[in-house]
Structure 1
């Protein structure tokens, strides 16, 4: 019994027949093999891990570099500020062998000693040649005010009488009241008041005293009734002269 003959192509090759009589090309499988599914999908897991780990490390490295630069700059600034200051050297040493002059001796005498009531002190002014001999002649405590110069309740008036004699080589042109200060036993200072009293004529405003001439007047102070006058101070040039005479009143 023979098998039916398979059809051949024009070149004499036999064409295999597929199932159901299909004679086209057939897929080739090995024995017992099944057709495989679609190829697996590719993922970016490695790239994601690299970005997650590497990017923070890169940022941390940049921040550390900035911190180091700032710290180094700050350290240099501190070192610059810590430099020692320059020292100023005096260009001239003080002269210790200076010969005392008449004016300097008068200044030392006026500043180191205090006169009593009735005593005289010779004081120098700022202007060259200005020199006045000041005598405190009396203290009136309390002084009698006139009808227009009554002190406040609880206060009294004290009058200091002075004689100003021009013993220098310049004209004295100043207000004696401006250079006067009264100090009580507790160390409180009082400035003059422009009041008139019955025990003498006030200097008032400006006095002009030529060389060899003199003036006499009173300087009036308003103080508490309990105050006890202890010292009187006076200086030329409205109190701005370096020399200041002082009299003890008790």
Structure 2
């Protein structure tokens, strides 16, 4: 009997261990801390990617519907024979100026008024008509200039020519009155005079008339 117990007990213990191993190997479940009863499952981490932000459509810049200010048109140059009405510094001073003719090579009236060697007399004839309310009293030669093709400007010169009577000194005329006269310029022989300019108030008036000159005999 004693020997039977010695043999049977170890055998029973051996079979118990084998059964336990087989049970564990046949259906093993791995649990994590969160899968265990009572464990708190942590929430899934939120995506750190910023949600795509739609680009706000900025309102288009409002187009300027206001009409652009119209710049005052500069009077175009007149031709020989054309008239330009000029405004003086006084609001009542207004004179219509007509370039009657151009003399490319004006002939001196006497030996005392000759151009220097290499120069010639260039002359223009004007008619001044006072169309304003104020009296015109000025020296027309002071506000007169000619310009050559290279942009060189020449002021009037003292001289008498055979092609007409010069404006001598000051001219005074009331409203509706007119005067006619020659203005002489001394220019180089080779100069090609392309423009004549004239302004009231001895050239200090803001408005200036311009004429395109043409060759004349």
- TM-score, normalised relative to structure 2: 0.64
Distance 1:182 1:116 in 2: 14
Pairing partner for 1:233 from 188, 193, 197: 197
- How far did residue 139 of structure 1 move? 0.2
Do residues 120 (structure 1) and 83 (structure 2) align? yes
Pairing partner for 1:158 from 104, 122, 131: 122
Distance 1:139 1:128 in 2: 30
- How far did residue 128 of structure 1 move? 2.0
CA RMSD of aligned residues (A): 1.9
Distance 1:123 1:112 in 2: 11
Three-state SS of the structure 1 residue aligned to 2:105 is coil
- How far did residue 226 of structure 1 move? 0.5
Give aligned pairs, total.
146
Do residues 139 (structure 1) and 102 (structure 2) align? yes
Distance 1:184 1:204 in 2: 25
Distance 1:161 1:204 in 2: 13
Larger RCO: 1 or 2 (CA < 8 Å, sep 6+): 2
Pairing partner for 1:175 from 113, 123, 139: 139
- How far did residue 209 of structure 1 move? 1.1
Which of these two proteins has the greater Rg computed from alpha carbons? 1
- How far did residue 185 of structure 1 move? 1.2
Q: Unpaired segments of 5 or more residues in structure 1? A: 1-95
Distance 1:194 1:229 in 2: 18
Higher helix share: 1
Q: 1:192 aligns to what?
A: 156
Distance 2:160 2:82 in 1: 24
Q: 1:214 aligns to what?
A: 178
Distance 1:115 1:183 in 2: 15
Per-residue Cα deviation, 1:103-134 (whole angstroms, up to 9, x for no partner): xx9xx56x331100000000000012100000
- TM-score, normalised relative to structure 1: 0.56
